Homo-oligomer: A and B are copies of this chain.
Amino acid sequence: MIVIDGLQYSNWNRSIFEQLRQGGVTMVHATIVYHEQIRETLMRIAEWNRHFEQHGDLIMPIKSAEDIRVAKRLGKVGIMFGAQNCSPIEDDIGMVEVMRELNLMIMQLTYNNQSLLACGCYEAEDSGVTRFGRQAIKEMNRVGMVVDMSHSGERSTLEAIEISERPIVISHANPLSFHEAKRNKSDKVLKALGESGGLLGFSLYPFHLKNGPDCSLDDFCDMVASTADLMGIDRIGIGTDLCQEQPLSVLEWMRNGRWSKEMDYGEGSKSNADWPRPLSWFRDSRDFPNITNGLLARGFSPEDVAKVMGMNWLNFLDDGLKPG
């Protein structure tokens, strides 16, 4: 079975790569940057190049959807680069293609805040996709870089679905109907996403789940089932949002970048500022089989489980990564 994790931002090292392989993960969309601009993004890529050099027996870079199948065949974990904010293109439309040449395959238009391209889900008011945003979506469509609206506001997300000539993704979030959180998505967004041929990756980040770290596997699988009813069984996948072995300072970087002098606690709070406690049934990438088994137990057919666990992502990327 091809297993694809639609997003992780772990503190990458050999033991984490080994866990991915042990969990049967064929490919992971790895966030390489949050607020890093061009020069810093290139440093992150250079760090990944060292990982590929040193751990080439375990991992390989994903330079096309076909490489996902190659990774499966070789028994390696494919690493697909993604950005959680649009800072790697700074203010320069030409950087979309340059970053795509460096195998940045997927980029969020926003990370919680207003960006140059669109509005994040934490702003008081969402005025939609900007002028630069429209150009950037067009260029991302042209070069085959996937638009990701996981951290965007409702209006911006609906507009991006409309503007983009290719289906987009919400790589890591859950339905608002399952759990009330700024990062989760309304049925209206999910329906529009599904109808446009887009994809939702279900998050296993406790802040996005009913009962937080105590969310049961059964509840998670019920959510998958009801979302399949809403969006269609072909329009859903996994995007764990696993941030393994990251120190608190990284969480603070994700939440505050360089934009705030006061501490912003994001989905947490002053009294709950740290990383959430992990789920008992998904502690790290080795627990992917628990999701598979949970879905089978919930009554999904093996074929549908294979779709949710990876084939839907693979089919999406087969089209999504091709230059237009």
Q: List the interface of chain A (C-beta within 8 A of B).
A: 38-39, 42-43, 45-47, 49-50, 92, 94-95, 97-98, 101-103
Contact A42–B95 (Cβ < 8 Å): yes
Complex Cα spacing A50 to B98, Å: 11
Cβ distance A96 to chain B, nearest Cβ, rounded Å: 9
B residues near A103, Cβ cutoff 8 Å: 101
Cβ distance A218 to chain B, nearest Cβ, rounded Å: 45
Cβ distance A46 to chain B, nearest Cβ, rounded Å: 3
Sample 9 A-B pairs with CB under 8 A, ordered by A number.
A38-B42, A39-B39, A46-B98, A49-B98, A50-B94, A98-B102, A101-B101, A101-B103, A102-B102
Cβ-closest chain B residue relative to A101: B102
Contact B45–A98 (Cβ < 8 Å): yes
Cβ-closest chain B residue relative to A142: B53
Cβ distance A194 to chain B, nearest Cβ, rounded Å: 33
Contact of A92 among B46, B97, B101, B102 (CB under 8 A): B46
Cβ distance A34 to chain B, nearest Cβ, rounded Å: 19
Contact B38–A94 (Cβ < 8 Å): no
B residues near A102, Cβ cutoff 8 Å: 98, 101-102
Cβ distance A89 to chain B, nearest Cβ, rounded Å: 10
